[in-house]
Amino acid sequence: MTGSEACAYHDDMQGPTAVISLPALLQNAHALKDLAGVPLIAVVKDDAYGHGAEQVAHALERDVLMFAVATVEEGARLKIAGIGRDVLVLTPPSCQEDGMRAAAYGLIMTAASFVTLGLCRGRVHLAVNTGMNRYGFHPLETARACRAAQQRGLQVEGVFSHFYDAADREARRAQIAAFSDCVRIVRRNFPNALRHLSATGGILAGDARFDAVRPGIGLYGYAPDGFSCNLCPAMKVYADVLASGAVFGGGAGYAHAPHGCKVFHTLGVGYGDGFFRNGGLGAVDTLCMDACVRQGRHSFGERVCVLENAQEYASAYGTTAYEVLVSVGRGAWRVYER
């Protein structure tokens, strides 16, 4: 990308730019839907994994059954942005205000314990703990949870759980069996309850479709550990060259310049933008908070791609594409290809 093309992406923005392909998101959604054979609950929590929840939701709205977010605040932002599809809040409420605000915005809450069931109002999905041990009613509590929901006059519209390791076939089968037992109890009380268990890993495993699936990382072009896919990464991140010239003295950022280094250039991106401080991006040594000093000459204003594949970058630092996308996407100025 040339300097003139960079200006077309943003005016007067000094930090990195995340270029997000909405066609790639749609392509990924269609591929996952075809593979699953059931409707999608598109997970756009944490600002759509750093891609911008409102823009992503508008792009996907015609192709999904509903959206899922982490908090009532995230759900409210989607509704304020004009999203008409249902929005499921995956995190159970922590106080009465969560339940009241969710009801006011028409959100679907998650009831995952008797305490949180008492905080919900209106529409809910019941979360059951099939082995992940994060949120959810114990399977032996399912019948009592249904009775409590009926007594409170709640509209139980769905029941769900989550794989803790979708790549482990035996663990997955045990969770499917436990979930199926819970579903039978829920559906005796709420016959139309939507059943959903699989996120991206479960979709790729292919044996837990139920009524809907909840892709998250797959929408953005990546597979969880233990799986591979032909999905298309939706985000690329670019930074501008803000300085370039001959080396003077012995430093290169907050480090000694390598022996023989004669020219350098500086990119306007650093660990303050969500990248890792200890190297990466071709830096001479550690990143500065808002700058990356590299060997070699580039022209001022030149646009350089600093992140093309989040999984490759994540693997070098012992983490996941999830963390990289959320962190880097939050720190970048986002633009959208349509």
Question: Interhelix angle for 72-80 vs 53-60, to 10°?
Answer: 60
- β-pairing, 194-196 vs 235-246, is unpaired
Give the chain's domains with CATH numbers. 3-16+233-337 (2.40.37.10), 22-220 (3.20.20.10)
Which residues does 318 contact at the CB level (< 8 Å), separation at least 6? none
- Residue pair 191/149 in contact (Cβ under 8 Å)? The answer is no
Residue 74 falls in which region: left (phi positive, over 0), alpha (psi -120 to 50) or beta: alpha
184's tokens: 């039978």
Contacts of 180 (CB under 8 A, 6+ apart): none
pTM: 0.93
At 99 the pLDDT is 96
Kindly give the confidence (pLDDT) of every residue in the chain, 338 residues in length, as a single tens digit, with 9 standing for 90 and above. 433 344 445 455 678 999 999 999 999 999 999 999 999 999 999 999 999 999 999 999 999 999 999 999 999 999 999 999 999 999 999 999 999 999 999 999 999 999 999 999 999 999 999 999 999 999 999 999 999 999 999 999 999 999 999 999 999 999 999 999 999 999 999 999 999 999 999 999 999 989 999 999 999 999 999 998 999 999 999 999 999 999 899 888 898 888 888 899 999 999 999 999 997 899 988 999 999 999 998 999 999 999 999 999 999 999 999 999 999 999 899 999 99
What would the two tokens of residue 307 be?
């992140």
Q: What local confidence, expressed as pLDDT, does residue 8 receive?
A: 44
Quick one: DSSP state of residue 195? E
The DSSP output letter for 212 is B
CA–CA distance from 19 to each of 14, 53, 251 (Å)?
15, 15, 32
Q: How far is CA 264 from CA 273, 286, 313, in A?
A: 21, 15, 23
For residue 327, give every residue at least 6 positions away whose Cβ sits within 8 Å of its Cβ, in sequence order, or none: 50, 274, 275
